[in-house]
Amino acid sequence: MPKIISANLNGIRSAHKKGFFNWMGAQTADFVCVQELKAQHGDMTEEFLAPHGYHGHFHYAEKKGYSGTGVYSRVKPDAVVTGFGSPEFDAEGRYTRIDCGDLSIVSVYCPSGSSSPERQEAKFRFMALFLPHLLELKAQGRELVICGDWNIAHHEIDLKNFKGNKKNSGFLPEERAWLSQIFGEVGFVDVHRGLDKREEQYTWWSNRGQAYAKNVGWRIDYHVATPGIAAQAHTVSVYKDERFSDHAPLIIDYRPRQAEQ
């Protein structure tokens, strides 16, 4: 089983300048899922496409400088899928999946609804479409790890100011209930929270009001996995020693302990 990193880059070119790929090369990860590329294929240098010998696979948004997802893999995958069948959201580059043997790795970037009521409605449309897709994936019987920025904090422990955010996008009752359904009746596992139940395990901080310095954050980046591979996970960390983005990389090791180096 693998070691997997999820990282919202808030722009792949910006993250590169801040040292992301140097750091990534030292992590010995099997898969690295990235979101918010903010780039098209013509913007991607060889270092972005195949850093440190990884195979890179990407889903670019049609709109320039917007969204985008990707998965880096140590091994060449058996199959690569971009998009999950929604013309609206596939045009935004929000889904990249690779299949390696009986394991599928997905990088997903769920919409944010914070900029306007219209974008919140788009987020609700995404949620309504993505849940049936998750059911279809799970029905295939493969092991799945769906990494990415889901733009929802699930419980009060998952954001600093939960009292003031109950009517705000990212912590709305409907959004939280949707995640509860995924982790409940659908049967996926929130791997991070299963391993670490401590407070203040945030992965994103606003650029306003010294949020990072004060650790006023949100846990909105997840590894969402099928129970089989989730049960193999044993080590989780949020990397904060360097800042590549307004998000921090989420690292989970699913490898057998005896295989660790």
Q: What is the DSSP letter of 232?
A: T
Split into its structural domains, the chain has a count of: 1
Q: Is 149 a catalytic residue?
A: yes
What pLDDT score was predicted for residue 261? 45
**Range of 138's domain?**
3-259
Distance set, CA 258 to CA 1, 29, 238 (Å): 12, 16, 23
Whichever domain contains 215, its CATH number is: 3.60.10.10
- Beta strands (DSSP E) in 60-160 are 69-73, 79-82, 95-100, 103-109, 143-149
What pLDDT score was predicted for residue 1? 67
Name the active-site residue from 149, 158, 190, 253: 149
Phi-psi region of 254 (alpha: psi -120 to 50; beta: other; left: phi over 0): alpha
Per-residue pLDDT in tens (0 to 9) along the chain, 261 residues: 699 999 999 999 999 999 999 999 999 999 999 999 999 999 999 999 999 999 999 999 999 999 999 999 999 999 999 999 999 999 999 999 999 999 999 999 999 999 999 999 999 999 999 999 999 999 999 999 999 999 999 999 999 999 999 999 999 999 999 999 999 999 999 999 999 999 999 999 999 889 999 999 999 999 999 999 999 999 999 999 999 999 999 999 998 765 444
> What are the φ and ψ backbone dihedral angles of 70, each rounded to 5 degrees?
-165, 160
> What are the φ and ψ backbone dihedral angles of 180, each rounded to 5 degrees?
-60, -35
Q: What is the DSSP letter of 154?
A: -
How is the chain split among helix, strand and coil, in percent rounded to 5?
30, 25, 45
